[in-house]
Amino acid sequence: MSDIKKIKREYLEKLNRELNQDSINQIKTELFGKNGSISNEFKKLGSVAVEERKKFAADLNLVKEELQEKISKKFHELEIKEINEKLKNEKVDVTLPERSFEQGKIHPVSQVIDEISSIFSEIGFSVEEGPDVENEYNNFTALNTPDNHPARDMHDTFYLDNEKKLLLRTHTSPVQVRTMLKGKPPFKIIAPGRTYRSDSDQTHAPMFHQVEGLHIDKNINMGHLKGCLNYFIKEFFEVDKIKMRFRPSHFPFTEPSAEVDIGYEIKDGKIVIGEGDKWLEILGCGMVHPNVLKNVKVDTSKFQGYAFGIGIDRLGMLKYGINDLRAFFETDYRWINHFGFDPLDVPSNYRGLSR
């Protein structure tokens, strides 16, 4: 029998036994390694007589292929066997308790900001932002608030330096200034964000949230302001009818100025918006003072408009029945679990921000 046939017989027989990964690899080396039997047969090729060489090479190649095929088949079988064994041994025990996971909740303030932004974006307002740390000029001076105005008093304002040049913004109105300084009219923006005043009780926290509104264009008047706020409040509280009251007020940066109250009543321990004879103040507003427009280089002979500042936290308290403002910012996990919103729940009046 030729060497080739012998090799073939010997190794086919070996490969028919029960083998593991290592022993298959061992066989592979014995056959095809540097000094492997098949490799050595190939080395003989040169010394085989010319007339036999063709047949020798053909036989050798055939055997080589046959053995290689057998080896990969063995590897494949082994793989299948391993998988089957794993499936048999590693059963999924569906009776085991599930792995616990915590899903976060959306804070009511974030939720309310989203709702407000969505409602105003429907009627053409875009959203602007400004920093919490402001300079005295944007927060007061540009807003026509003279040096001796009580709002500048240390009592209300958190100053960050002795010269009283830097402060934590006391309202979102400086975003009006920033927006008008960097662009050209018309302007139609809202600016939600954090605001700070040295104040703390059940309805006041040293950090709270406002949303500023600003609409400057040709011929904008108080009627537009009223219509816009009326629309917003109805949409926000999801009611068809509201009672709204404009009370004359004073802000240095608007003239005339008003504070807006909405009518409500308490029915079965719950606040009902739009009925009853109780009033709750929710915002300040007015027609932007010409001095403010001049400070930000808006031509007052062509442009005018209104501004408003709404207390976001108050709106959230009303809509979602939360009675202590301070709880908003105490980061109590049980509170957020109770009052927070499921991130996958889309509120009924949410229409998306991009429309």
Cβ of residue 310: shortest distance to ligand PHE, in angstroms?
Answer: 8
Q: Which C-beta is closer to ligand PHE: that of 27 or that of 285? A: 285
Find the part of the chain contacting ligand PHE (CB under 6 A) among 178-186, 304-312, 319-327, 332-340.
304-312
Q: Which of 60, 225, 271, 307 binds ligand PHE (CB under 6 A)?
A: 307
Contact with ligand PHE (CB under 6 A) among 130, 193, 305, 309: 309
Of 196 and 251, which CB lies nearer to ligand PHE in the complex structure? 251
Number of residues that bind ligand PHE (CB under 6 A): 10
Question: Shortest Cβ distance from residue 214 to ligand PHE (Å)?
Answer: 8
- Residue 203 CB, shortest distance to ligand PHE, in Å, is 14
Q: Pick the piece of the chain touching ligand PHE (CB under 6 A) from 7-15, 46-54, 103-111, 283-291.
A: 283-291
Residues 93-132 that bind ligand PHE (CB under 6 A): none
Rounded to a whole number of angstroms, the minimum distance from the CB of residue 143 to ligand PHE is 8
- Please state the closest distance from residue 144 (CB atom) to ligand PHE, in A: 11
Residue 259: other Cβ atoms inside 10 A: 17
- Applying the rule CB under 6 A, the residues between 166 and 185 that interact with ligand PHE are 171, 173
Residues 202-231 that bind ligand PHE (CB under 6 A): none
Query: Pick from 108, 185, 263, 284: which binds ligand PHE (CB under 6 A)?
Result: 284
Stretch that binds ligand PHE, among 31-39, 235-243, 280-288, 317-325 (CB under 6 A): 280-288
Please report how close the Cβ of residue 226 comes to ligand PHE at its closest, in angstroms.
Answer: 14
Long-range contacts of 141-150 (CB under 8 A, 24+ apart): 141/295, 142/174, 142/177, 142/292, 142/295, 142/296, 143/173, 143/174, 143/176, 143/177, 143/252, 143/253, 143/292, 143/295, 144/252, 144/253, 144/289, 144/291, 144/292, 144/295, 145/252, 145/253, 146/252, 149/252
Closest distance of CB 267 from ligand PHE, Å: 30
- Tell me which stretch binds ligand PHE (CB under 6 A): 185-193, 225-233, 262-270, 279-287: 279-287
Instruction: Please report whether residue 140 would count as binding ligand PHE according to CB under 6 A.
Output: no
Region binding ligand PHE by CB under 6 A among candidate stretches 116-124, 218-226, 306-314, 336-344: 306-314
Residue choice 254, 264, 312, 328 for contact with ligand PHE (CB under 6 A): 254
Residues at the contact surface with ligand PHE, assessed by CB under 6 A = 171, 173, 251, 254, 284-286, 307-309
